[in-house]
Structure 1
Amino acid sequence: HGFSAEFAQHREYASGDDLRYVDWKVYAKSDRYYLKQYEAETNFTCYLLLDCSESMRYRSEGTALSKWEYARLVAAALAYVVIKQQDAAGLCTVNDRVVDFLRPASQPTHLKQIYYTLEHTEAAGESGLGKVFHELAERINRRSLIIIISDLFDDLDAVMLGLKHFRHRKHDVSLLQVIDPAEQDFPFQEPVLFRGLENLPEQMAEPRSLKKAYQAEFEKFLKAAQRGCRDLNMDYGLVRTDQSLDMALSTFLSHRQSRVGF
C-alpha cells in the first residue's frame, strides 16, 4: 500500500487473509491478529438515513408496526447485509436536525452500535428533511451509497432540492418511502377526529365525503416523489407497513443488484 491509500480501520484476521497486513503492534498488545484495512479496500460506504420525525410514529388500527418500527427493522437488515459483505455502514437519524450520526465502519462491533442506536431512538419532533439533506451533503465527504427511509411527509420541493445536493456531490442515492396502509386506502367510515402530528391541529371530518379527493391527492403525492427521484437518476421504492419485511427487502435489493451490483 505504501502511501497510496489511507488507513481506515482494523478488522479481525480471517483464514486466507494476507499476513503482510497484520498489525503486529496490536498483536503484541492483545495477542490477537488484526489486519490494517485501507480506504481503497472498502468497496463502498453506505449511509442509512432514517426520518425519525413524529409522523413516522403513526400506526393504524390492525397494523402490527408503526412506520418508525418498520423503518428501523429495514435499516437493521440493510446494515447487516452491508457489513456482512465487509463494506462499511453508517447511520443517521433525522427530523428537522441530525439526531444521531454514526460514521461508517465494517466491523461486527459497529453493527451492534447501529442496532443499539436504532433501538434507543424514538420518532419525535417536526420534519425538515430538505434543510438536513443540504447539511449532510456537505458533511459526507467520501462518495457513498445513501439509503433514505422516510414517509416524506414534508415539503416535497425542499426534499427534492436536498436530494439534488446529494447527487451533485456524486453520491448514489436510494429512497425507500414507507407508508401506513390507512394512509393510502383511507378505510375510515364513521365521522372521525383526525389528530394532527407534528403540531398540526385536530380536525373532525366525515371520511366518506373526503375519500375520493383524499386518495387522488395522496396518489399525486406518491407519483411526485417517484418522478422526482427518477429525474435525479435515483432508485425509488414504495413499501407499506402491512407488507412483509422480506418482500420489501428482496424487492429493494434485487432492484439495486440489477442496476448497480448491490
Structure 2
Amino acid sequence: MLLDAQTLARLQGVKLRARAVMEGVLSGLHKSPHQGQSVEFAEHKEYAPGDELRHLDWKAYGKFDKYYVKRFEHETNLRAVMVVDASASMGYRSGALSKLDVATTLAGALCYLLVRQQDAAGLALMAGGKWKDVPPRASAGHLNVLLDTLEHTEPTGTTDLGSAADHLAEVLPRRSSVIVLSDLLDENQDALRRILALRQRKNDVSVFHLVDPAELTFPFDDPTLFIDMEGQGRIEVNPREIKESYLEEFNAFLANVKAACAEADVDYDLVRTDDKLDDVLLRYLSRRGRRR
C-alpha cells in the first residue's frame, strides 16, 4: 500500500489513517530491523508480528512451547505524551491533507505503536492557551480514548507554545518522552526556547515540524488575498513581488528552529504534508535507535 497523502486522504478519519501508517511502519521494521537496543534485560513478552526476531528467547520457547521476546529496561518504563498543536494555522492545506491531519495521523500511529509494545501513551492538545489532556496509560482500551480524542480535534485559536511549555512542565513527571507536533508558527520569540527547555528537565523531547509544500515554495502568481488564520489580518499583494523575500525569511526561520533543536539535544524532523508518513516514522525510529 502506498501511503502518500492522496491515499491517506481517502481514508476517512484519524483511526483508519493512523492504523494504515502504523501497519506501514511495522512492515518497514520487519524488512529492516533497527539496531542499538539496550542490552539491560528486564522481562519477557509474548511475540507479536513485527517484533524483532533477534530478541526471541529460545530457552523460553523450549520451556513453554511459545515464542517470547526479551524486553529491556528502557522499553518497560516509557511514558510518552503527544503534544499536538491544534491552533487555526494547523488547518491550512494546499493539497490533500492539512497540517493538523498529518499531526493527528502521526500522533495516532505513534499511540498504536506505543500501546502495542505495552508502553504508556498520552495526549496534550493545545489551541489558544486552552488544553485537553489525556494522561499516559498503556491499556488497549486507553488507545481508543486517544484515537477518539484525535478524531474530534479541530483547528482553532492561536498558537501558544509558551503556554504549552509551562503546562507540560507542571503536569509531566521527569524523564517522560515529549513528542511535539506543530508548525511552530508562534509570534512569541521566546516560545520555542521554552518548549526546548523541557529537555533540561530530563525529558526526552522530539519535534515534528509540520509544513505545507506551499509554505516552502510560495507557488502563487496572480494577485492574491492572504488571510491571517489566527487573527484579523488580511492583505492583497502581487506574490511575485514578495516571493524572494518571503522564501528568504521562511528558510531562515526553518534554519533557526533546526539549529535551536540541535543545540538543545532535541530530535528534529521537518515533515511536509505530502510526505509518506510511514517513512517519516521509520526515519524517526531509526534515529531513536542510533541515539540509544
Q: Which TM-score bucket, shorter chain as reference? A: 0.7 to 0.9
1:97 touches 1:128 (CA, 8 Å); kept in 2?
Answer: yes
Using CA pairs under 8 Å that are at least 6 residues apart, name the structure with larger relative contact order, 1 or 2.
Answer: 2
* 1:185 paired residue number: 217
Give the match's secondary structure for 1:220. helix
2:208 equivalent among 160, 167, 176? 176
In 1: Cα distance, 2:171 partner to 2:128 partner: 16
Q: Deviations over 1:154-213 (max 9, x none)?
A: 036322332243122110100000000000110001111111110141110101111111
More displaced, 139-148 or 186-195? 139-148
* 2:272 paired residue number: 240
* 1:206 paired residue number: 238
1:48 equivalent among 82, 89, 104? 82
| Structure 1 residue 98: Cα displacement | 4.1
In 1: Cα distance, 2:119 partner to 2:172 partner: 16
| Structure 1 residue 41: Cα displacement | 8.5
Identity of aligned residues (%): 40
2:281 equivalent among 245, 249, 254? 249
Structure 1 segments, 4+ long, off by >3 Å, are 39-42
1:70 touches 1:241 (CA, 8 Å); kept in 2?
Answer: yes
Q: Which consecutive residues of structure 2, in runs of 5 or more, have no partner in the other structure?
A: 1-44, 48-72
CA gap 1:106/1:222 in 2 versus in 1, 3 angstroms: same
2:180 touches 2:208 (CA, 8 Å); kept in 1?
Answer: yes
| Structure 1 residue 221: Cα displacement | 0.3
How many residues in Structure 1 have an aligned counterpart in Structure 2?
A: 223
Give the match's secondary structure for 1:127. coil
| Structure 1 residue 99: Cα displacement | 2.4
1:45 touches 1:87 (CA, 8 Å); kept in 2?
Answer: yes
TM-score, normalising length from structure 2? 0.72
In 1: Cα distance, 2:290 partner to 2:75 partner: 23
Q: Which consecutive residues of structure 1, in runs of 5 or more, have no partner in the other structure?
A: 1-13, 17-38
CA gap 1:79/1:191 in 2 versus in 1, 3 angstroms: same
CA gap 1:40/1:72 in 2 versus in 1, 3 angstroms: closer
Give the match's secondary structure for 1:254. helix
Q: Which residue identity does 1:108 align to in structure 2?
A: A
TM-score, normalising length from structure 1? 0.80
* 1:197 paired residue number: 229
Give the match's secondary structure for 2:180. strand
Aligned-residue CA RMSD (Å)? 1.9
* 1:58 paired residue number: 92
1:84 aligns with 2:84: no
More displaced, 154-163 or 71-80? 154-163
